[in-house]
Every structure is written in structure tokens, then in C-alpha cells.
Homo-oligomer: A and B are copies of this chain.
Amino acid sequence: MDQELILLQIAIILIAARLFAELATRLNVPAIIGELLAGVILGPSLLGWIEPNDVLKLLAELGIILLLFEVGLTTQLDKLIHSGSKAIIVALSGFILPFILGFFSSYYLFGLSLLASLFIGGTLTATSIGITVRVLSDLNKHNSIEGQIVLGAAVIDDLLGIFLLAVIYEFSRSGEVDFSNIITVVFYVSLFFLMAPLVAKMLSPAIKHLHRKTDIPGLIPVALVSMVLLFAYIAHISGAPDLLGGFVAGIALSRRFFLPMGAFIKADPNFTIDVHNHMKPIIQLFTPIFFVMVGLSLDLAAVDWSSLFIWIFSLTTLLIAVAGKMFGAFLIHEKNSTRIAIGMAMIPRGEVGLVFAEIGRASGILDATVYAGIILVIAYTTLTAPVWMKYFYHRQESAERKLTMRD
């Protein structure tokens, strides 16, 4: 294929992603929805202008690996500990319930394959930290009790979700669910999870030292991107999806990372900030390409919308996605209004869910209809939860105002 045509495609993808993301935020909808929509419009569903090719796929892959790197870099592991047992309860229940319910309904109710059902369960597990943080801070609630619990829980279920992805990914590679294999996978992935941050942490003073010493500019972007790519490759050969490498590298370089033996590995918050500043433009450039590619992979025209299956499947799955997260909030000891707020804030699915769906599609486990159904569920949770939350807080505030006026 013509190199120049690919350059044009990249430009169109970037411009469309930005245009629809801007439109989306004007309509109070998360930017990610705009980016997905850009892909749907450019892709086979509508215009059919762009067909995914090797180069675009790799750029999208780079985008998601780098996004997970940033998620890791900005994960505040210490927040987890402060938000305590309530966050853990919300996280665990909001992880286990959607997974089990999603799996069982897909497998027994809709008669999908074991692997497809596992992928669908997995898709529903992880709350989108990005969208939740954004909505909470828009409502100025990120420092409230519910804000702290939700952030803690979202971090935990992200971690769990990524770990689950590693296990299901291995099944998808071997093509079958082999529980005897699972021990080896869990062993290697755990080893990677434990060793990689240690290695990254030891590399970081070397990078910092070189950065200060070298005469050739651009050390941080080159060193960090190479490290992230190497980690992605190592994650892949230890049986995990490559983006896990990005996540682990980010975690290791994050400002508040501490290991059990963290005492003797000195962290430098200024270096983390330096890293983030140098990496930001690169991450911002590649990330939209991933979300547009998800939209591009979605062939809405190929879905049989007249069949009942797609409607019942996506509505059931949506119900599970909502109820599975709401339930956990009612297990903790808080006011009902706080419980509702927490449950709603946990509903939006995003990056990790899309990765589950995309890997399921790319490996041929999810067919076009199921893939479309699951993407609709993710988009719907992301679209509506922020609206509900705003409405809920708005009503609550006017109720409180009435109460104060009556006093």
C-alpha cells in the first residue's frame, strides 16, 4: 500500500477523533465516545473510508500500551490503602458479580462458547477510572467519601481486570480453556508482575543519570518508549497481553509506588513529573488511534438488527453491567444516598472493557454481532452513567436546600 495514503489515513483518523471528541464534550459526553463514533463513521459501518491495515493496527497497539503506561503512572497505590475495606468490598463485588453473571448468561442463556462467555464476563469487570475520575471532578465530588471509595475501588478492579485478562488471553491463544495450564500462566504472569516493576525501578536511576549527562536531546522519550515496548514484549512472551507491560512499567515509575523492599529503592517525584511531561504528547498522539480503531473494527452494517438476539443479548448484558456494580455499594455501611452515588459512579466501563472486547474480536472468539452488542453495552454505560450522576446530585442538592430552608 502507498505510504502516502497511510499518512493521509493517520491524519484523517487524528482529525476525526479530535473533532468528535470535542463535539462529545460539548454535549457533556465523555471524549472516548466521540472517538469511538469517529471510528464507526470512518469504518465499514458507515463511510467505509478506512480499512484497518498493519500499520494502523500497530499504531493503535502503541496507543493502548502507552495509555496503560499512563494509567499505571498516575495510579496512586497509596490511595487504595487509605480508602480501606469499603473500597475493597465495592471493588471485589463489582468485579466478581458482573463477571459471573456475564459469563453464566452468555454461556447458558445465549448459548455462546465457553471462551466467548469468559471474554464477555471479563469485559464487564473493570470500571473506567478515566471517565469516573472525570465525572466526579466535574461534579466536585472527587474528595467526598463516596469519591474516595469509588477511586479506590476503580483502581482495584482495574488491577483485577488486567490480571483476569492475562488469564483469559492465554486461553484465547491456546484456543481452549485448560485449567491445568492456568497454574503455569498465573505463575509467569505473577512473576512478571513482581519482577518487572523491580527492573523498571532499577532502570529509572540509570535513565535519570543519562538524562542529566547526555549532550543528545530526547533521552526520556526514547528510553521510556523503548522500555515500555520491551516490557510489552516480555509480557507477551510470559503469556499476558502486551499492554500489561505498559501498565507495569507505568506503575513502577509512578510517584507513589512502593514495593515491600521499597525502602532501599529511592523514588524521585521530580523525575516522575519529568517523565510524564515528556511522554504526554506521545501518549496523546497515539491513544485516540486505538479508540478510533475500535470503532473501525465495529461493522454495524453486518449486524442483523432485525434478529431478537442482538437486542435481548445487549439489554441483558447491560442490566448485568449496571446491577453487578450497584449491588456491591449496598454491601457497605453508608447512607443510602452515598450507596447509590457509589454504585452509579462504578458503572462506566471503558479502556479495559474495550481491550477485552478487541482481543476477543481479533482472535476470532467474538463474532461481529456479539462484538457489536458488547461495544454497545460499554458505550451505553459510559454515555448514561455521567448523566445519571449529574441528575442524582442535582436532585439531592435541591432536596438538601429545601430541607435547610424548612429549618
Contact partner of A281 (CB less than 8 A), chosen from B21, B226, B230, B281, is B281
Contact partner of A219 (CB less than 8 A), chosen from B1, B18, B217, B226, is B18
Interface string of A12-31 (1 = CB under 8 A from B): 00110110011001000001
Q: Does A260 contact B (CB under 8 A)?
A: no
A22–B217 contact, CB under 8 A? no
B221–A285 contact, CB under 8 A? yes
Q: Does A174 contact B (CB under 8 A)?
A: no
B3–A61 contact, CB under 8 A? yes
Contact partner of A278 (CB less than 8 A), chosen from B11, B242, B281, is B281
Q: Which of A6, A15, A65, A285 has the most CB atoms of chain B within a 10 A radius of its CB?
A: A285
* Minimal beta-carbon separation of A128 from chain B (angstroms): 16
Question: In the complex where A55-B55, A284-B221 touch, is A61 in contact with B229 (Cβ < 8 A)?
Answer: no
Interface residues of A in 181-229 (CB under 8 A from B): 210, 214-223, 225-227, 229
Interface string of A60-97 (1 = CB under 8 A from B): 01100100000000000000000000000000000000
Q: Does A10 contact B (CB under 8 A)?
A: yes
B8–A225 contact, CB under 8 A? no
Q: Does A395 contact B (CB under 8 A)?
A: no
We find that the number of chain A residues with CB closer than 8 angstroms to chain B is 54
Inter-chain contacts of A57 with B (CB < 8 A): 3
Q: Does A273 contact B (CB under 8 A)?
A: no
Q: How far is the CA of A22 from the CA of B215 in the complex (A)?
A: 8
Question: In the complex where A55-B54, A284-B217 touch, is A225 in contact with B14 (Cβ < 8 A)?
Answer: yes
Quick one: closest B residue to A221, CB to CB? B281
Copy tally for this chain in the complex stands at 2
Interface residues of A in 269-297 (CB under 8 A from B): 278-285, 287-288
Inter-chain contacts of A18 with B (CB < 8 A): 216, 219, 222-223, 226
Q: Does A327 contact B (CB under 8 A)?
A: no
Question: In the complex where A18-B222, A55-B58, A221-B285 touch, is A216 in contact with B25 (Cβ < 8 A)?
Answer: yes
Q: Does A178 contact B (CB under 8 A)?
A: no
Contact partner of A285 (CB less than 8 A), chosen from B215, B222, B287, is B222
Q: Does A104 contact B (CB under 8 A)?
A: no
Q: Does A142 contact B (CB under 8 A)?
A: no
Q: Which of A3, A54, A282 has the most CB atoms of chain B within a 10 A radius of its CB?
A: A3
* Minimal beta-carbon separation of A234 from chain B (angstroms): 9
Question: In the complex where A8-B233, A57-B3 touch, is A285 in contact with B284 (Cβ < 8 A)?
Answer: no
Contact partner of A229 (CB less than 8 A), chosen from B10, B222, B281, is B10
Quick one: closest B residue to A285, CB to CB? B221
Contact partner of A282 (CB less than 8 A), chosen from B22, B226, B282, B288, is B282
Q: Does A236 contact B (CB under 8 A)?
A: yes
Question: In the complex where A10-B229, A285-B225 touch, is A4 in contact with B280 (Cβ < 8 A)?
Answer: no
B222–A4 contact, CB under 8 A? no
Q: Does A399 contact B (CB under 8 A)?
A: no
Question: In the complex where A8-B230, A8-B233, A14-B225 touch, is A218 in contact with B3 (Cβ < 8 A)?
Answer: no
Inter-chain contacts of A230 with B (CB < 8 A): 8, 11
Q: Which of A57, A62, A233 has the most CB atoms of chain B within a 10 A radius of its CB?
A: A233
The 8 nearest A-B residue pairs measured at CB: A218-B284, A11-B229, A221-B281, A4-B236, A14-B226, A8-B233, A11-B226, A221-B285
Pairs across A and B, CB under 8 Å, 8 listed: A7-B232, A8-B229, A11-B227, A11-B230, A18-B216, A21-B216, A25-B216, A31-B216
